Structure 1
Amino acid sequence: MRASQFFISTLKEAPADAEIISHKLMMRTGMIRRLGSGIYTYMPLGLRIIRKIEKIIREEMNRSGAVELLMPLVQPAELWQETGRWEKYGPELLRIKDRHGRDFIIQPTSEEVVTDIARSVINSYRQMPVNFYHIQTKFRDERRPRFGLMRGREFTMKDAYSFDRHVEGMEKSYQIMFDTYTRIFTRIGLHFRSVAADNGTIGGTGSHEFHVIAETGEDALVYCPTSDYAANMEAAESLPPSDVRPAPAEAMQKVLTPGKKSCEDVTAFLNMPLEKSVKVIAAIRLDAAEDAPDRFAVILLRGDHDLNEIKTQKIIGPFRFAAEDEIVQYTGTPSGYLGPVGLDKKPGIAVYADHTVTVMGDFICGANEVDHHLTGVNWDRDVPLPPVIMDFRNVVEGDLSPDGKGTLAILRGIEVGHVFQLGTHYSSDMNATFLDENGKSQFMQMGCYGIGVTRIMGAAIEQNNDERGIIWPLPIAPFDIVLCPMGYERSELVRKTTDDLLAGLLEAGIDAILDDRGERPGVMFADWELIGVPHRVVIGERGLKENMLEYQGRRDDAATTVPQAEIMDFIQKKLAM
């Protein structure tokens, strides 16, 4: 490949709307161009990377026994209505009508379509297990697209769907895909971690996420450094505290706290530690009738802890946070001054507590009166323990690991893959059945498995960059090596040496590019460091007079001189490292 026959278009500065490093660098290198909100054109340089990612994914999926097909981007609404996701998926589902007024969607995922295929073509247990996959464009109408390819509306995803005749088979297929994903991300050259996760809108019984480790990651990953425990923040379990609740040491007192609403402000005003406070989070249960006695729910948390919405939904059902007028309607008190004392006696309120709260003594909470809080509050003496005490909070660093083998730590990650055990979640809704060994009709056991192909590109940059630009892992770099000749147009010796080296590299199957654009050395080097090609060879007349070439790896601080006769062996050894 010659740069003059390719398309290289770099920028010194990133556009003002580029927020994170991967978005900035992809725009500066000319890998993508914005067409609309969350919609990008993949330019030649970026497309080369995507195709290399896809190649690795295809090779490993085929190795696993999965079979590739291609499902449509546009899907009929009837299939989504069968599973109920036409209503449940929400505004991220792009709904459209054809000229006849029939409803369709632009697919965000393909569970319904693949299940329709399976129920049409699989009749007997002898046809399973089978795993269909495709690499296809997806569209999710994000409310606020941002971060370039990291949270765009249109993206490329590899999604796969397994069908088995029993639970044991589904679990085996799931493990095969888990192992396949591990190989895929290892081959790509990423530092990643798999964590237990919540199934979310996909549904099913169990799942794992695969995250690229990066300080800029949106997701908090919880793990135990001394064991194999790992989960995302949504699924990480907080163990009940082993502490014994202390006996009361203070009398309960009402204190004036003018204008102080948050636990942080109240404890600072009272010169008390934040962990001595209890906060009340008010919610409306969406599956409860307007006049239901438990429609209005309050959850008690320690002041320094955060509510885990996924855990909360599993305990109290679907909910939304209560509006200010609803809080006043049910409690008679505006938010910021709510507390558990006396709240249990008010009609129509269900009180829940995180188990950490129940071992607190002499704590601070709202007095259910504007500009007032209570100090020295104790359970049983001043207020009864709530009837439901469970795990409602996000874990924090230093919590005990659920497996009992150490304490928890937290790092940041970017989700690039997710595997799900679906069970009969979709097959039962869509009547996808088969005849078992006894001739009886059974629902198919399903699994689904997704990889964000284009998101991998952004995640790899977030993990691999420096002040000069991108540092691509070799397996997905746009080119393995760039040849930078000094005076290519002026020196016959430089030109012939460079051309011969390029030919030798290409013949050896090495993805090389020759920069024959005629740029100054400083511009040439800056461009390729920005683009992030892992290896570079400089060919200059001065070095050739001594039969030497100059090599520098993208992560190297300085160049290395290499005898011209040894350069091919040297490069091949570098590429094999």
Structure 2
Amino acid sequence: MHASKYHINTLKEAPSEAEVASHQLMTRAGMIRKAAGGIYSYMPMGLKVLRKIEAIIREEMNRAGAIELLMPVVQPAELWVESGRFKEYGPELLRIKDRHQRDFVLQPTSEEVITDIARNEIHSWRQLPVNFYHIQTKFRDERRPRFGLMRGREFIMKDAYSFDRDEEAAQLSYDRMYEAYMRIFTRLGLEFRAVAADTGAIGGSRSHEFQVIADTGEDLIVYNPESDYAANIELAEAPCLIPERAAPSEALQKTATPDAPKCELVAEQLGRPLTDTVKSIVLATDPVEKSEPVKIWLLLLRGDHELNEIKTSKLPGFENGYRFATEEEIVEHFGCMPGYLGPLNTRKPVNVIADTTVANMSDFICGANEEGYHYTGMNWVRDLPEAPVFDLRNVVDGDPDPKGGSLRIQRGIEVGHVFFLGDKYSRALNATFLETDGKPTIMQMGCYGIGVSRIAAAAIEQNHDSRGIIWPRAIAPFEVVICPLGYHKSETVRNIADTLYAELQAAGVDVMLDDRDTRPGIMFADWELIGVPLRVTVGERGLKDGVVEIQPRRASEADRVACDAALNHVLETLKSL
């Protein structure tokens, strides 16, 4: 490709709403252009990146035995009603009506449509297992789209769906997809982690996220550097930090703590470590039957710990959801405003739950249910009845791993997710097949998603500097750019550049020759911004010494290489990128 025949339109400044590097740099590099909030046009340079990502995904999905099809963006609402998700999915599901006032949705995902296909196409055990996938535009009506392609409303996703005879076979399909994803993200040239994850709104019982490591990531990953353990912080088990409860050594005492509604202020006033304090979090669960009362729950965590809301949602009694209690409900049950709440002497009975670490604390400090006062020397059994114990908190950096070593935390960007669904959708849509005994049997399902457009953004978040993008070779819009200085003025420069360009093309390299009549500084700045992995500079000054300059995007200096060795040098350098 010659630059003069390509669309290159770089910008000096990013739009004011671009907060993260990928949004700023993709806009400046001319890869995306905003059409509306969270909706973008993919310009030629950006589309090339997406197509390279898609090609790797297709190769590995096909290698794993998946079969490509293409499902519609607009889906009939009755399938979503049948699965129960038409109402459950929430406002992110864009619901529309056609001219006949029939309900449709813009697909955020395709479990319903693919299950409908399966129940109509698969009749016998002989047709299983099967795994269908497609790469298609999705739409989720994000309340606040931001960060460019990281959290847009319209995006490109690969989603796959496996169908099996039983759970054992379905787990094998899951494992095949897990391994395929490991190969995909390795080939993309990204630093990533596969982490155990919560199944969320999709449902199912087994789940892994694939997280690209980046400081700007919205997700927190818990991992052990000494093992292969990794989990999303929502799912990571927080260990009890106190091996066994010590005997009481202090008397229970109500202590004045004026103007100290937070554990940090209480600890400071009393001259005690924050780890001696216990915080109170009051939740409410609304009844299924209106005639029943609202249940009030008091969750106890150590003062330096934070509540994990995903773990909380799985507590017994929280099956139908929960909310934070209102001030009116708190005063009614505790006789006190938030800030001084505790489990002792509540006005009305509440359901107390202790985090695993709190359950082994002794002589701790907690609210006295009276403004300006806390109890010190609080102990289980002596002062408080034992409470149900659950893991309620987020892991913190440095927590011990029960299997050895310490847990660390890093940020990541979720770019892929694999789920074992079981029969969540196949049962709802009655997707059955005839087993060997002739009886109808519900299919077991898995689903597997990859955010194609998000990968492009995540790659930039992980690979950029002050000058622009640094693409991994596998997904760069071009692998090599040849920058001839004076292409239209010097026949020698032009001949060397054209020859090298033809040789690289013949060797299968995706190469751009910048034959624009522009100043070297502008030319170099454009390609550093765009992020092509390798630049070859051909100029009269170097040619006087019989050399061209070859510089990887990450390198601070160029190698001066003899013209007749340039091709081999480029090919060898590309192998290391």
Normalised-by-shorter TM-score class: over 0.9
Specify which of 342, 345, 348 is matched with residue 346 of structure 1: 348
**1:398 paired residue number:** 398
**2:300 paired residue number:** 300
SS of equivalent residue, structure 1 residue 510? coil
Distance 1:10 1:114 in 2: 41
Would you say the 8 A contact 2:501–2:513 is kept in 1? yes
Match status 1:485 vs 2:488: no
**2:252 paired residue number:** 252
SS of equivalent residue, structure 1 residue 356? helix
Equivalenced residue count is 573
Match status 1:121 vs 2:145: no
Deviation at 1:214, TM superposition (A): 1.2
- The aligned amino acid for 1:330 is H
Offset from partner CA, 1:452-489 (integer Å, 9 cap, x none)? 00000111011111121111000000100011111112
- The aligned amino acid for 1:43 is M
**2:373 paired residue number:** 372
Deviation at 1:286, TM superposition (A): 4.0
Would you say the 8 A contact 2:162–2:447 is kept in 1? yes
Distance 1:101 1:56 in 2: 41
Deviation at 1:9, TM superposition (A): 1.4
**2:422 paired residue number:** 423
Alignment of 1:185-204 (within 5 A): 185-204=185-204
Would you say the 8 A contact 1:282–1:298 is kept in 2? yes
Distance 2:330 2:81 in 1: 35
Offset from partner CA, 1:208-237 (integer Å, 9 cap, x none)? 111111122111111122222211111111
**2:327 paired residue number:** 324
**2:340 paired residue number:** 337
Alignment of 1:482-561 (within 5 A): 482-561=481-560
- The aligned amino acid for 1:327 is I
Offset from partner CA, 1:80-110 (integer Å, 9 cap, x none)? 1111111111111111111122111111100
Distance 1:448 1:405 in 2: 33
Deviation at 1:241, TM superposition (A): 4.5
SS of equivalent residue, structure 2 residue 556? coil
Deviation at 1:275, TM superposition (A): 1.2
Would you say the 8 A contact 1:253–1:374 is kept in 2? yes
Distance 2:339 2:98 in 1: 50
- The aligned amino acid for 1:102 is R
Which structure 1 residue ranges, 4+ long, deviate > 3 Å from structure 2?
239-242, 286-294
**2:207 paired residue number:** 207
Would you say the 8 A contact 1:92–1:142 is kept in 2? yes
CA RMSD of superposed structures (Å): 1.5
- The aligned amino acid for 1:238 is A
SS of equivalent residue, structure 2 residue 524? helix
Distance 1:258 1:41 in 2: 58
Distance 2:95 2:263 in 1: 43
Would you say the 8 A contact 1:229–1:401 is kept in 2? no
Deviation at 1:397, TM superposition (A): 2.3
Offset from partner CA, 1:413-455 (integer Å, 9 cap, x none)? 1111000011111111111000111111110010000000000
Match status 1:414 vs 2:413: yes
Consecutive unaligned residues in structure 2, runs of 5 or more: none
SS of equivalent residue, structure 1 residue 161? strand
Distance 1:5 1:186 in 2: 33
SS of equivalent residue, structure 2 residue 47? helix
Distance 1:286 1:199 in 2: 24
Offset from partner CA, 1:487-509 (integer Å, 9 cap, x none)? 11211111222122222222222
Distance 1:346 1:288, change over 3 A: farther
SS of equivalent residue, structure 2 residue 428? coil
Offset from partner CA, 1:153-192 (integer Å, 9 cap, x none)? 1110000000000111101110110000001001110111
SS of equivalent residue, structure 2 residue 169? helix
Deviation at 1:541, TM superposition (A): 1.1
**1:243 paired residue number:** 243
- Greater shift, 53-62 or 275-284, is seen at 275-284
Would you say the 8 A contact 2:95–2:105 is kept in 1? yes
Deviation at 1:134, TM superposition (A): 0.3
SS of equivalent residue, structure 1 residue 426? helix
- The aligned amino acid for 1:328 is V
Deviation at 1:291, TM superposition (A): 5.7
> TM-score, normalising length from structure 1?
0.97
Match status 1:458 vs 2:457: yes
**1:100 paired residue number:** 100
Distance 1:502 1:418 in 2: 40
Distance 2:84 2:417 in 1: 22
**1:355 paired residue number:** 356
SS of equivalent residue, structure 1 residue 12? coil
Distance 1:284 1:193 in 2: 36
Offset from partner CA, 1:127-146 (integer Å, 9 cap, x none)? 01100000011111111111
**2:567 paired residue number:** 568
Distance 1:286 1:206, change over 3 A: farther
Would you say the 8 A contact 1:289–1:295 is kept in 2? no
- Greater shift, 207-216 or 278-287, is seen at 278-287
Alignment of 1:91-170 (within 5 A): 91-170=91-170
Alignment of 1:65-76 (within 5 A): 65-76=65-76
Deviation at 1:564, TM superposition (A): 0.7
Distance 1:134 1:30 in 2: 27
Would you say the 8 A contact 2:287–2:293 is kept in 1? no
- The aligned amino acid for 1:568 is L
Distance 1:288 1:395, change over 3 A: farther
SS of equivalent residue, structure 1 residue 427? helix
- The aligned amino acid for 1:471 is I
Distance 1:298 1:100 in 2: 51
- The aligned amino acid for 1:382 is D
Distance 1:300 1:472 in 2: 47
Offset from partner CA, 1:363-397 (integer Å, 9 cap, x none)? 111111122222221112222122x2111111122
Would you say the 8 A contact 1:288–1:294 is kept in 2? no
> TM-score, normalising length from structure 2?
0.97
Would you say the 8 A contact 2:242–2:357 is kept in 1? no
